Each structure stands twice: as C-alpha cells, then as structure tokens.
Amino acid sequence: MLVNTVTEKEHGNDLVSADKFKDFIVRYEYMIPQHANSGFYLRGRYELQILDDYLTDRAEQTGNGAIYNFKAPASVVSRAPGEWQTAEATIRGDKISLTLNGIKVLDEVKVEHATGGELDRNLEEPGPIMLQGDHGSVAFRRIRIKTLE
C-alpha cells in the first residue's frame, strides 16, 4: 500500500512510474479520507479525479471518477471516506473508459487535450502513471497494468 501522507493545508508529492505506457488497462484501489482530493494520471496527461464526494448526488466534471475538468462520470458511485474503492481504466488511442466500484462511469470518452497538471503534452507518445499528491492522505494498493496491442 502506498500512502501519500499530507497534513492539512499541504500538498503532497506526485509519484511517477519509471515505465511508460501507450494503450493499457490499469486496475487499482484507493481509499480517501474526508475532503480529500487527488488524481490518477494516465500517460501522465489525463487525470481521473479522486475526490470525496460521497454525499453528492450530482455528477460533476471535477467529481470522483471524472476525467478532470473534461467529462463528468455518468453517475456518482463513490464510497464513503475510509472505504476502499475499486477502479479499472482503459486507455486506447485517444479514448478512455472507467469502471468505478463495479459501475461503468466513462465509456470510450474521446480526450482531445491534456487535463491540467500534466507532465507534458506529447499526446501521441507513451507516458507514465502518476499518482497525484494533492489534498489529503490518499492510499493506493493493488495497482496492476496490462498493456494492449
């Protein structure tokens, strides 16, 4: 388990993989405390938002499971703070899908630009996985990546 320990009013450190990936499926679990805000970056360019929005009933472009500031999830399926959440993301070419807590919330969403906070804008090239160290001590575990041909 990886925990980006962050005290109140601090930003944590981003964790970036040494390996780079083009088209792949990634499965991971994460647990967030109340009011946490983080992200899981595909290719270091596309942020899948991680946010404590458990009591929210409206999907937002900045909500849990969104492609940050680009596309809201189809529905809010967030679990309560302190509970493990499961995610499976697929990126193939310029399309992203996400299943969050067993529910498909993004289905082959075409991403035309990086979402902010990206490592670079070389959209056609492979890139790393990045775990954003933003607000709150977010824990990650069971990160598994399968490359696609």
> What's the CATH code of the domain at 35?
2.60.120.560
For 65-101, the pLDDT digits (tens) are 999 999 999 999 999 999 999 999 999 999 999 999 9
- Domain carrying residue 29: 2-147
Domain total in the chain: 1
Nearest to 105 by CA among 128, 88, 118, 122: 88
**Taking the model in full, what pTM does it have?**
0.94
136 — pLDDT class (breaks 50, 70, 90): confident
Separation of alpha carbons 46 and 54, rounded Å: 23
- Rama region for 14: left / alpha / beta (φ>0; ψ in -120 to 50; rest): beta
For 4-46, the pLDDT digits (tens) are 777 777 777 889 999 999 999 999 999 999 989 999 999 999 9
